[in-house]
Amino acid sequence: MFNSFSSADACKLLADGAQLVDVRTAAEFSRGALPNAISLPLQGIMNANNVIDKDKAIILYCLSGARSATAKNYLVQMGFDEVHDLGSFKNYNCE
């Protein structure tokens, strides 16, 4: 599936205060995450209201893009407005 949300898009949103959310497992997160990322494992996505700010843009990522795509669908259904899927953390290329 083609993802039109690019690393450049992510960098711009992050510079404007967006939240970078890692939906990998806690163990994966503890082994290394992107700068300033918030850990919200897909298994706990229903707790999103307690972890991330609904009023700020959200950028999701995982290992391959599968979990972040699933997380995006859940968050949109939960009423989060500005949710973007970066896909794999390998797509991240911000300074």
94 is catalytic: no
Out of 18, 58, 62, 75, pick the active-site residue.
62
- Mind listing the pLDDT tens digit for each residue in 3-13? 679 999 999 99
pTM for the predicted model, two decimal places: 0.94
- Mind listing the pLDDT tens digit for each residue in 44-95? 999 999 999 999 999 999 999 999 999 999 999 999 999 999 999 999 999 7
For tokens 């711009």, what's the residue?
A: 12
Burial class (CB within 10 angstroms; exposed 0-12, middle 13-18, buried 19+) of 93: exposed
- Mind listing the pLDDT tens digit for each residue in 36-57? 999 999 999 999 999 999 999 9
The helix (run of H) or strand (run of E) holding residue 92 is none
The DSSP code for 20 is E
